[in-house]
Structures are given as C-alpha cells and as structure tokens.
Amino acid sequence: MIFDIITVFPEMFTGILEYGILHRARQSGLVDVRIVNLRDFTRDRHRSVDDRPYGGGEGMVFMPAPLFEAIEFCSDKEKNLDSQVILLTPQGKTWSQKYATEFSTIAHLILICGRYEGVDQRVIDCLVDREISVGDFILTGGEIPAMVVLDSVVRLLPGALGRWESAVNESFSTGLLDYPQYTRPAEYRGHKVPEILLSGNHENIEKWRKQKALEKTQQIRPELIAKKTAQN
C-alpha cells in the first residue's frame, strides 16, 4: 500500500515514521509512505502556497496551482493503482473504524494536509474524492489528522501487527468499546483480578468480556449502542 502525504511541513512526519508499527511496516515493505512538500510545486521565489480569499475575509487559502500539480505528480507515479485523494479538513466526514477498514483496501491514498482557512474549492471539485475530519474540533492543520489516518489504516493491513486478531478484537471493531484488561500480578494493593479471568473457562470468559464491553459502552458511549441497535 502506498501513501502520498502532501504538506507544507514535511518535518512533522519524521518522528511518527521512525517508531513502532509504522516503522516496521515500512521496513518490511508492507507500506510505502512518501512525504510530498507542497512548496516544491510553486513557481515564485517566495515559494508561496496561499493567498487571500476572493470576497474578503480573514486568513489565507491554499491556491489551486500548487495542489493541482502536487496531486497530479502523485497520481502520475501510480497510474496503474486504485487511488483516492483525501483532504483532511474540519468540514469532512468524521473518521471512524469503518472508514479505516475501507481505506485499508485502497492501494494508493493521497492525503492533503489542509491549513489556514482552507483550500481553493476548485481543488475539491476537480481532484478530491473525499473530505475527512478526525472530530468536531479545530486543529492548526491537517498533519496530525493525516497521522491519525495513516496509523489507523496501516495497523489493519495483514502482517502489520503481530497477530491479526489484535486488529479485530478491539474497541470499535465490534461497534462497542473494549472490555477491561488485566495482567500480573493477580492482586495489587488490595485490588484483585476478577476470578473468572483466572478460571481457565474460555467460554465463560468470553461471555464476561462481552457483558463488560456492553456495560462500559452503555456507561461511556451510549450512542454507540443506539447506533448498533439501529443497524440491526
């Protein structure tokens, strides 16, 4: 799988790509992450990527020309692949595990890290396939959302995690939050691990986990249960 990430701050991605699952996935050839500097597609000596919006208003807007050229550059390199162009923006659809699973089946993702007051609408109309937001709040740019998308998609690729079940049996994959987890010691400062987890009865343990996941979701995120019930 290939990621092209278009940004004006390529240095921001150095750390996340050098550690953990993303690093191992890149080292093994499972994923190729290419950071594309938007300023490389400018024509003026100031390497300008933004300008004031027509009609007035605060802030600056990404100009169309650099983005058109950057996206076309990324697309031309992978003409034979199934590609999608994703704009990270507060106006997009909210990112979810469902989208992460869907995106993990796409061979080539081009992620545009939005900034300032937005992107010239002609880029969206002509080249962007989807607009994605990581939540109903405002960040200073799309770099952190791009990292969220990258991390949550790559970990779903077969071979990225030590065990495939690790990606399947976790929060949101079943529509519920994860059940409580415990490890050694069996008692710590007077707090004991639930006896059922020490019983060795895997059928009862599985029932307990499902019940606890349901209770936790009902307490913290009841809207997930309502959504799951509506889907059924």
**Has residue 166 got a pLDDT over 60?**
no
Quote the pTM value.
Answer: 0.89
Task: State the DSSP string of the chain.
Answer: -EEEEEES-GGGGHHHHTSHHHHHHHHTTS-EEEEEEGGGG--STT---EEPPTT--SS-EE-HHHHHHHHHHHHHHTTTS-EEEEEEEEEEEEP-HHHHHHHTT-SEEEEEE-BTT-B-HHHHHHT-SEEEESSSS--SBSHHHHHHHHHHHHTTSTTSSSSTHHHHSSTTTSSSPPPP---S-SEETTEEPPGGGGS--HHHHHHHHHHHHHHHHHHH-HHHHHHHHHH-
Q: pLDDT by residue (tens digit) across 71-123?
A: 999 999 888 899 999 999 999 999 999 999 999 999 999 999 999 899 999 99
All domains in the chain, ordered by first residue: 2-154 (3.40.1280.10), 168-232 (1.10.1270.20)
Q: pLDDT by residue (tens digit) across 8-42?
A: 999 999 999 999 999 999 999 999 999 999 999 99
Mean pLDDT of 167-187: 81
Mean pLDDT of 154-172: 74
At residue 26, the pLDDT reads 97
